[in-house]
A and B are shown apart, each in its own frame.
Chain A
Amino acid sequence: MVNALRWWWGILLAFSLLAASRLVLPLPFINEVIIFSIYTMGCNFLLGRVGFISFGQPAYLAAGAYGTAFYLFYFGTDPYVGILVGVVSGLALSAIVGPMFVRLRSDYFALVNLALAVIIYYLMQKVLADITKGDNGLWFLTRIASNPVLDLGKPGQFFIFAMLVAVAVWALYKYLDDSIYGACCLATKVNEDKLEFIGYSNFSVRLLAFVIANTTTALAGAMYAVYLGFVSPEITSPHRAPDPVVVTILGGTGTLYGPIVGAVAYTGMKDAISKVIGNWELFIGFLLVFIMLAGEKGIWGTLAPRLEKLFSSRKARTAAGDGAGARR
């Protein structure tokens, strides 16, 4: 219970800081950070817990985004239903390809996912251009119906919705991390044979992780679609494929706060640097190489033990002071 309270305080503090930053930072930036952190949470779970590195996350992002876009462009106007359709699309895609992909390991898994992203990119850009409108994309911002509780067409209210979703997704991953299933995921990452000797099916453990992570990614895609009111094949562009992996490593692989910290840092860097330098991607590339070489644990992975040390020594000093006071 104490631990539960402690981690709840931690996440509430993290998201409160993000919410407070709204006062000083532009809303589009914060909304992008929140969606990006949800996008990264799935990748972080796959990489940090199960040991799967995937360069095909844009495929699942696109499944969510296009699922939502198709609904809002062709069928309905309710953004909540649109997001639900997007999530179900991502769930379906990962449930279809998952049984084939999770049998592969490391580099093959990374590449087969990248191949899927390329396939979906060309499907959306060329093969299904009649439906997807090709590079022009689907525009549906004006079709999004307003809602009396939270109107997702308004950036300010979308921000509240995105925060609530992000906290819920974070809590889900925290729960998974602390559960037996989370331990199974870590165990399959370390030694898959041994997990089977205990009585678990590696295939089932990995498949479930794959579906959960990529459904989360699809949720981020669906939220992008509603937030921007527009989806084009650019969302699944293969050159954006390493983004979630980079953000995961930048934030701190396998850490719970890593995706939030990584998303803030990456989006912040991109935003700040692109304002002053034309070829910002080149500069960010060099900066990331430096960050990876400087500390492979990522920002949160490096900061967390130091903060813990700082707080524990402060607590010890306070306790010693209380003890001295009591003696006096």
Chain B
Amino acid sequence: MLPDPSAAANGEILAVKDLNVSYGASKVLFDIGLSVGPREIVACVGRNGAGKSTLLKTIAGFLKPDSGSVRSGAISLAGLKSYEIARMGIKYVPQDKKVFSDLTVRENLELGSYASKDYDWDRVTGYFPKLKQLMDRKGGYLSGGERQMLMIGRALLGRPKALLVDEPAEGLAPSIVSHLREVLRELSANTALVLVEQNLPLVCAIASRVYALKEGRVVAELADRESIRPDVCERYL
């Protein structure tokens, strides 16, 4: 791991440059560039198959890029295992909302705590008070919204420097989405967030920068509040 003084100097939590990723022979991401600063909420929007989830999985170390670089500060994440990246404080919350169904909420949190050596559950239940009442319920018996709370809550343990959240609002009731929006906004005070989301009103309400992806390429980068609007984003999809 060779330090990259320029990335460190920029204070970037994540810097993706010229990233190319393939599934076997089929190329999915083409020369992707992305930058995430401290306390920033960066969103990736795009239609199904645009490569948004692939991008997050690659940053999280689940997929190996063909070329390009992924850096966190001065450290290159390329070639690191996903658990090593998680231990560095870059946590991935997958899309499928599948928690460990045989484990209770408490056990799910204990897993997160033990890995990150952070037992401050009050902070987690502060964001998601409902988890307090569900401590002894098995993951398999939680609703979609409760699972999402548990997954984000568990990822928060260890005070990550970046959270990669894949489609957090998918399939959730509007009231839960609105709670989630507030939580994500609060989280960004301490943690950089990278969201992959198709819910444009949610994205535009909280994101400070939006990347529009189409067929594996970044087709637009919206970085000012005036341009981060659902109708503008829609134009690029």
Contact = CB atoms under 8 A, between A and B. Distances in A.
A183 B102 CA distance: 9
B39 to A, nearest CB: 22
Interface residues of B, number: 26
B102 A199 contact: no
Interface residues of A, number: 17
Contacts of B110: 180, 183
A190 B87 contact: no
Say what secondary structure dominates the interface of chain A. Answer: helix
B60 A199 contact: no
A197 interface: yes
Contact of B111 (A183, A193, A201, A202): A183
A175 interface: no
A194 interface: yes
A193 B102 contact: no
Contacts of B87: 199
Contacts of A193: 62, 82, 94
Nearest to B87: A199
B115 A186 contact: no
A180 B113 CA distance: 10
Interface in A180-215: 180, 183-184, 186-187, 190-191, 193-202
Contacts of B94: 193-194, 197
Contacts of B114: 180
Contacts of A201: 81, 83
Given A183-B103, A184-B111, A197-B92, A191 B86 contact: no
Nearest to A204: B83
A203 B116 CA distance: 18
Contact of A197 (B91, B102, B103): B91
Contacts of B158: 199
Given A184-B111, A187-B111, A191-B98, A198 B81 contact: no
Q: Interface centre among B60, B92, B100, B114, by most A CB within 10 Å? A: B100
Given A183-B110, A183-B111, A199-B116, A194 B103 contact: no
A194 B83 CA distance: 9
A184 B100 CA distance: 10
Interface of A: 180, 183-184, 186-187, 190-191, 193-202
Interface of B: 60, 62, 81-83, 86-87, 91-94, 98, 100-103, 107, 110-112, 114-116, 154-155, 158
11 contacts: A180-B111, A180-B114, A183-B107, A186-B103, A190-B100, A190-B102, A194-B100, A195-B83, A196-B82, A197-B83, A201-B81
